[in-house]
Every structure is written in structure tokens, then in C-alpha cells.
Amino acid sequence: MNDPNGMFYLNGVYHLYYQWNPYGSQWENMTWGHSSSTDLINWKHEPTAIERDNLGTIFSGSCIVDKNNTAGFGQNAVVAFYTTEGRNQVQCLAYSTDGGKTFTKYDGNPILTDENRDFRDPKVFWNDQINAWNMILAVGQEMKIYSSKNLKDWTFESSFGSGFGCHDGVWECPDLIKFGDKWVLLCNINPGGIFGGSATQYFIGDFDGKKFVSTQKDTKWLDYGKDHYATVTFSNAPDNRKIAIAWMSNWQYGNNVPTKQFRSANSVPRDLFIFEADGDKFCGSKPSPELLKMRQGVIKTPSETCEIVATIKDNTQIKLSNSKNEYVTISYDKKSQVLKFDRKHSGDVSFSKDFAFETSVKVPGGSKELRIFVDKCSIEVFDSEGKAVMTNLVFPTEKYSQLSATGCKTVIYQLVK
């Protein structure tokens, strides 16, 4: 599996669709799988949602809840927008009247075409400013913005991208999210990530329903690890939350990681927000509060799935290791405010020349505490206030069972499996 798709919330249930190959463990035969959850923690596998047709295979996209029946499929119909990859990449529509379990493809597909070969990943959202729907699409190395009253007929409004951000690869999987009077445009890029391969950059700016104007020139990244890509947020989330999930891998080696049958997972859910530090604005990522419910009590040594909370007192170094001398180190320098993650000796690193790596980030405003989520083959390190995060895969040949730490006080929580 790879990109999360079509994420929405309705009637107490989160729905997460995802790109996957039903017939193998490498990228091919793209199809929308489906899972659901009432708490963002425990997920139920659902039947396959959208399969290929005579137009082609099913690439990434989004879902909305049509509360006012603007498309004519019924009140609260779930409407999915996705890219079909065939002779060309085109945008298609399907709708569900049973809450997202089954979909009927629209007879008028495709609803949007373009002469550009890379034309994909529609994200659709309602915009009160224009009393209409917006769609943002990744087209080559820019984003195109459209508007519609009925979800079927779309009008091109503007493009964004020239002169902003990183352009070392194709732009993909956009999202455009409102935070008060500001907007954040998520732009996934591959290759060209800050540490190589795929990653998520973002832009903070203004949007009037027709044109997005970035108020920043420098390139910012949502996650400073190697393995956080195709980030998008849930539509219709409760309490106006901006809950993001990403594919937890990197196209440099995503097809070749040393696992059998299982290949790839999503990141833990994160609540996004805007904050100011060091005279600048940033998009922060906090672990979603539901993750606190996973704690099952304090343990003395790391388990295969645990959360480590480190209260920083001085220059900090945290080392997770096992009996085979496989280890990762997480360090924080109080003076420079730089957080680092070194996985060069984390276990099996032989499958890719790009895997053995150290990632780093200067935490805006500095860090007082870290929350570290350890799973069988991943470690996600958050500044507890959400000011920085780095997500990295690891493949130890046995679990990390030892923890040593200097410059901080640590507590280890067992996490429910």
C-alpha cells in the first residue's frame, strides 16, 4: 500500500481509503482499499472500495460529504474524486449513498482532463468564501485550482507554484487547509525531499477561493524524517480539527524494504496547526490526542510497541538498542535547538544505499519534551508541542530492548497492540 486517499468523517466513523495492489507487494494495479475507525487507533478492514475500469487504474484522490445535495446524489452522499491512470491521467467521480461502503461511478466520467501528462490527486473542499466547492490538483510542478457549484462541472481559476518551494521532482497529493484567516497548502514532492526522495513541503498564505498567494518564500517541510509522504487531512473532521495521515515510506526504497507480504503502513494521526516562532509562521504537527488512550502503563525497558516521553534538561541523547548491537540515536542540542535522528546502525540497511542516514531539524523556538512512538519497523519523534517531527523506518533483526539516555528524564509507556 502507499498513499492514504479519500479520508473523511461521518456519523462517528473515520474512513481511510488507500492506494494498494491487491495482487502483490510492490507498486502496481492501483486500487482503493478501505478501512474504518471510531477512534483513529483501532481500524477495521472493509471491502475494496473502487476498482479499475476501462479508463484505467485508480490513483489518489479525496472524498467529501455532500451535506446539501449539491451534486444531486442525495443529502449526505459521500462523493469521491480520484485520478484514473490509463492512456492519460484524468479526474473521475464516484458516489456512495451508504456512508462510503460502496461506490457508484458517475456516468459522465471523466469530469476533468488536461494535456499535461502529470495531472492528478484531486483534493475537494467546500469554501464558504465563494459558496462553492474548490478542487486543487497537482499538475506537473504546479497546483491548479478549480471551482464548482455541483461537483460535476469545474471552472479553472488559477495556478500556483512558479518561484515557490522545491521543484526537484513532480508535485503530488495536494491539500489546501484553512486555519482562521490563513491557509496552508500541502505539496508532496518526489523526488526532491529535504533528505532525498519523497517528502511533504508546505506553504502558508492567503486564499480567496480563486487564487492562493503564499506569504513565505523559503521552503518548509512538514516532517523532517525520510519516511513521511502523501500527507492529506480528513474531510468533515469533528470540531474543525485538521487531522493528517501520511504514507510512512519513501519512493527511494519503498518497493524494496526487507519485509515479506506486508509492505508499508501509515503514520500515526497528527493534528495540524499554525504557530509563530523565531519571527516566522510554521505548520505544526501534534500527535492526535486519541493516541494517549494507547498507553497501557509504565514499563522499565522498551517493548516492541511503546511511547517514550523524554523531558529535556540538557543536551540530550537517547539510544535504543538490542543484543545484536543494532541501534538508533536521537539527540537534541539545547543551544543550537537541533534535533537529530541517526539510523545508520538501526538493523538491516543493506537493501538501499539511501536508507542508512541521519535526519535533522532546527526546532522553531526550541524543545522541552519529546514524544517518541516506537513500533516494529518505525519510529516517529515529536516535539511534544508539535513544533517539529521526524518519521523514520527502521528494520532491526530483533526488537530494541534497551534504552540509555543522557540529559533528559525518560518515561516509557507500553502501547496497546
Please identify every residue annotated as catalytic: 3
Q: Left (φ > 0), alpha (ψ -120 to 50) or beta: where does 145 sit?
A: beta
Write the CA distances from 172 to 60, 184, 274, 290, 332, integer angstroms.
9, 15, 22, 29, 32
Tell me the three cell numbers of residue 83: 485520478
- Under a CB-based contact definition with an 8 Å cutoff, are residues 388 and 363 in contact? yes
- Under a CB-based contact definition with an 8 Å cutoff, are residues 55 and 92 in contact? yes
d(CA 270, CA 287): 5
β-sheet bridge partners, residue 81: 62, 93
The Cα angle at residue 189 between residues 186 and 192, in degrees rounded to 5: 130
β-pairing, 77-85 vs 155-160, is unpaired
Tell me the three cell numbers of residue 18: 488507500
DSSP annotation of 292 reads G
The Cα angle at residue 145 between residues 236 and 67, in degrees rounded to 5: 25
Strands (DSSP E) contained in 322-401 are: 327-333, 338-342, 358-362, 369-374, 378-383, 389-393
d(CA 375, CA 41): 14
**Any long-range contacts for 182-187 (C-beta under 8 Å, 24+ apart)?**
182/206, 182/215, 182/274, 182/281, 183/207, 183/212, 184/272, 184/274, 184/283, 185/136, 185/143, 185/160, 185/212, 185/214, 186/222, 186/231, 186/232, 186/233, 186/244, 187/138, 187/143, 187/161
d(CA 58, CA 50): 7
Write the CA distances from 60 to 5, 37, 73, 121, 136, integer angstroms.
6, 20, 22, 5, 13
- Under a CB-based contact definition with an 8 Å cutoff, are residues 230 and 246 in contact? yes
Q: Order the strands of the 104-105 sheet from edge to edge.
A: 57-66, 77-85, 89-96, 104-105
Amino acid making up residue 194: I
- Under a CB-based contact definition with an 8 Å cutoff, are residues 388 and 361 in contact? yes
